[in-house]
Amino acid sequence: MANFKCPHCHEETLSLKDKYRMGMWFTAYCANCNSRLAAFPWILMLIHFLYVWNVIWFVALVYFNDGYIYLLYMVIVWGVLDLLNVYYVPLVKLKAKKESG
Ligand SMILES: [Zn+2]
């Protein structure tokens, strides 16, 4: 089970599932210090730009070259982006959200 460190208290409190969800713009709470955490937004934005580019690029190749092998490449690149997302996007601590109402 891969664990990820909280950027605030540096304890390994975050599961792979938490980290993956943060890669999809969700937030998570540290079980140790209760910090509200998210992936670093500028890097996450770049990764999501690459996801979109990946789909457009390979769908275009399928369309123009009539080769469905490119769909396989798209899936492989998607997997690589997921790995980058999970293992290389740093986390940041967010300010505590004030719930109103
Ligand atoms: Zn923490």
Residue 23 lies in a domain: yes
CB 83 within 8 A of CB 52: no
Residue 31 lies in a domain: yes
pLDDT of residue 100 exceeding 70, the answer is: no
Task: Quote the ligand 1 centre to 99 CA distance (angstroms).
Answer: 21
Which structural domain range is residue 41 located in? 2-92
Task: Quote the ligand 1 centre to 79 CA distance (angstroms).
Answer: 28
Task: Quote the ligand 1 centre to 44 CA distance (angstroms).
Answer: 21
- Render pLDDT for 10-68 as a digit per residue (tens, 0 to 9): 999 999 999 999 999 999 999 999 999 999 999 999 999 999 999 999 999 999 998 88
Task: Quote the ligand 1 centre to 93 CA distance (angstroms).
Answer: 9
Q: Which of 55-59, 80-84, 93-97 has the lowest mean pLDDT?
A: 93-97
Count of structural domains within the chain = 1
pLDDT of residue 97: 63
CB 23 within 8 A of CB 85: yes
Task: Quote the ligand 1 centre to 36 CA distance (angstroms).
Answer: 9
Residue 41 lies in a domain: yes
pLDDT of residue 2 exceeding 70, the answer is: no
Task: Quote the ligand 1 centre to 16 CA distance (angstroms).
Answer: 15
The residue type of 6 is C
Residue 91, Cβ neighbours under 10 Å: how many?
21
> What's the pLDDT band for 7 if we cut at 50, 70, 90?
very high
Burial-class residue 57 by CB neighbours within 10 Å (0-12, 13-18, 19+).
middle
Residue 100 lies in a domain: no
Task: Quote the ligand 1 centre to 95 CA distance (angstroms).
Answer: 13
The residue type of 5 is K
pLDDT of residue 88 exceeding 90, the answer is: yes
Give the DSSP H or E segment for 33. Answer: none
